[in-house]
Structure 1
């Protein structure tokens, strides 16, 4: 991927993989756009072209914006940003004025250096809804599934954290990125004083030339600090009938969405495991070859979104259930973050393990896939485990 513009801030390292990616991480300041993936580390400043809001599909508006950038003389322009869960709501997508790129964070040996531990902060934490209310919502959804109304819904809850002082976004990003450098870490402005920040493990879809990759995750178990217990939990997840069913539903939806665009598509018959610092996930890597080269990564992402992993199935019914049950607007949570270029290549990620920061407040999000075999207490515990990614990054505890 080419840069729109390159800014040198230090002497080049002895080896391009040593310090190149972490220097971009270190250079992040609020208002900039940072995105680290297994392919690239990106840091963007300023806005050359803003993707406008409108009734036309977002992938078409992005394509037009990139074409405008090319017409204005920008070489190899790239759009970076975030799309809300409700894809008809305004997105935060733009072509930056200055884009710096580096190899992946995981390839930089300096990423192994630990981030500074969070200092003492007197966080005030307010759960929305309360855990017992969330559990009651899960129980109600399970009852309706047994009546045959739908087969899965993803229900989320939030934690609202308030600090006496402004949120330290660069320090938080350092801790998220260095804890899981092989994942997808981002800090993207979504408003004049708001930043979407997170570390997602889930690739929605990527495109490089005619090669397409999707990596749906569904079915989870919290990690354990005890090695033997951690291995036991991983093995149990691989054999869990409930989680395997939940995962199969998502993989089938991904297969059905990608098939019309691909001449070849490979879907493994059984999932494998991936791990983050806090969770085990069932994972399937779906690979394919585009039938035509004019389908962009973002077009594929829009065809996939929302998968049953973040919404449920049937989609229309699941959307209605979560609207009735969740007492908050998801905003960018379970939306899409990523980048795309004027050739159609790109990486688009499911926006989970994230928070929205604004001045002294953080709103954390976590969801769980609810199926007929779900138990309210277990699903509430799963969301609590997913909150750990962020709580540890800010030095807070439930």
Structure 2
């Protein structure tokens, strides 16, 4: 097969196309034979719709975005046509595409004082043993003077996030979900299942010596190891009835993204029941302690009562599934929602009893950098 320039793919990408790139391949979708929205709170209805779609459009795959907030509708697409490119088929000739965006106004919700109060409130709840961990988020909101060209953002995200999961999905008229998630929720290939939770982070300094020190700090941080263990234990407990031969690294490894250093654990196993598909597994795990908290019910209630905005698709799922039930779903983080000229960026941090307010605020600011850099913007 003739090799394809990544720049050519992105040059011909329009805002209403769909793209999902993994470290191994790129999926490009044009048009839609079928597009529907459905409330994720009715998961059985969602499964029925997807099963019916795959029977109707034999051999076709689906791609979509599933929300964290159950009052937001999931977007599911059966593309009119799609193309797979293996990484070996692509020539990475991308360079930073400078942006010239003009901002009419911007606001961060919550502000620093409000967020610090949220963190202290969460710590009080943890000390009162109402939950062990909760993830709290912030948003940056921009109004642009002109419609953005998403292909430029994707160019910059792909250039700087070689190991990330890059995505862009049209979720409505002049509405898009764009991002570069570092976190694979679940990948299913035949009966082999892979999960890669992340929890515990530091901002990169891009100084080799300092970053090596941050690695050691992370690997020996009681707070971060505790936060990470909560997530890994949850995943294994949820998967135990459905997977055999579960394996994972007993101590977290280090994973670098474009701006952050994370604690990472890769979990693998074999499906006991071959009727389970990739989306079944994703729904089994979602929402994880990495983006919600533990116990899930109490943490979720706290988030809904405390955060002064609706998460919508942020910390939901984005991915694809083929007619065999194989596919990949990633957690929707390091992302932005575009609604015409209004842009909302989201990022969050895990709060445990040893969390420090300013550290959590600054960690979220570092996570915003992925999308801010792609857009050529800066946090106020």
Q: TM-score, normalised by structure 1?
A: 0.90
Distance 2:86 2:295 in 1: 40
Q: 1:260 deviation in Å?
A: 1.3
Give the aligned partner of residue 304 of structure 1. 285
Partner of residue 204, structure 1? 185
Q: Which residue of 1 aligns with 2:204?
A: 223
Q: Extract unaligned runs of 5+ from structure 1.
A: 1-11, 71-75
Q: What is aligned with 1:41?
A: 26
Establish whether residue 69 from structure 1 lines up as the match of residue 69 from structure 2: no
Deviation at 1:38, TM superposition (A): 2.3
Q: Any gaps of 5 or more consecutive residues in structure 2?
A: none
Tell me, yes or no, if structure 1 residue 328 matches structure 2 residue 309. yes
Task: Report the CA distance between 1:338 and its aligned residue.
Answer: 0.2
- Residue 7 (structure 1) aligns with: none
- 1:236 aligned to 217, 240, 245, which one? 217
Deviations, residues 128-176 of structure 1 (Å, cap 9, x unaligned):
1112111110011111211111111000010001222212211111111
Tell me, in whole angstroms, the C-alpha distance in 1 between the residues paired with 2:121 and 2:47: 36
Alignment of 1:83 onto 2:71? no
Query: 2:134 aligned with 1:153, yes or no?
Result: yes
- Partners of 1:263 and 1:394 in 2: CA distance: 43
Q: CA deviation at 1:66?
A: 1.0
Specify whether residues 88 and 290 from structure 1 end up closer, same or farther in structure 2 by C-alpha distance, changes over 3 A only.
farther
Quote the Cα distance in structure 1 between the aligned partners of 2:111 and 2:169.
28
Are the counterparts in 2 of residues 59 and 302 from structure 1 also a CA contact under 8 Å?
A: no
Q: As a proportion of its length, which structure holds more strand?
A: 2
Task: Quote how far apart the aligned CAs of 1:51 are.
Answer: 4.7
Distance 1:32 1:146 in 2: 47
1:188 alignment counterpart: 169
Q: Is residue 51–residue 65 contact of structure 1 (8 Å, CA) maintained in 2?
A: no
CA distance in 2, matches of 1:323, 1:209: 37
**Residue number among 78, 103, 108 corresponding to 1:95 in the alignment:** 78
In structure 2, how many angstroms separate the alpha carbons of the residues matched to 1:131 and 1:158?
A: 11
**Correspondence for 1:388 among 327, 350, 369:** 369
- Looking at structure 1, the residues matched to 60 and 128 of structure 2 have their Cα atoms a distance apart, in angstroms, of 51
RMSD of aligned C-alpha atoms?
A: 1.7
1:202–1:293 CA distance, 2 compared to 1 (3 A)? same
* Separation in structure 2 between the aligned mates of residue 275 and residue 155 of structure 1, nearest angstrom: 22
What residue in structure 2 maps to residue 29 of structure 1? 14
State the Cα deviation string for residues 81-116 of structure 1 (Å, max 9, x = none): 100013564211111111122113xx4664253132
Describe the shift of the 1:56–1:237 C-alpha distance in structure 2 as closer, same or farther (beyond 3 A): closer
Is 1:358 paired with 2:343?
A: no
CA distance in 2 between counterparts of 1:173 and 1:332 reads: 18
**CA offsets 1:326-345 (integer angstroms, 9 cap, x no match):** 11110000000000011110
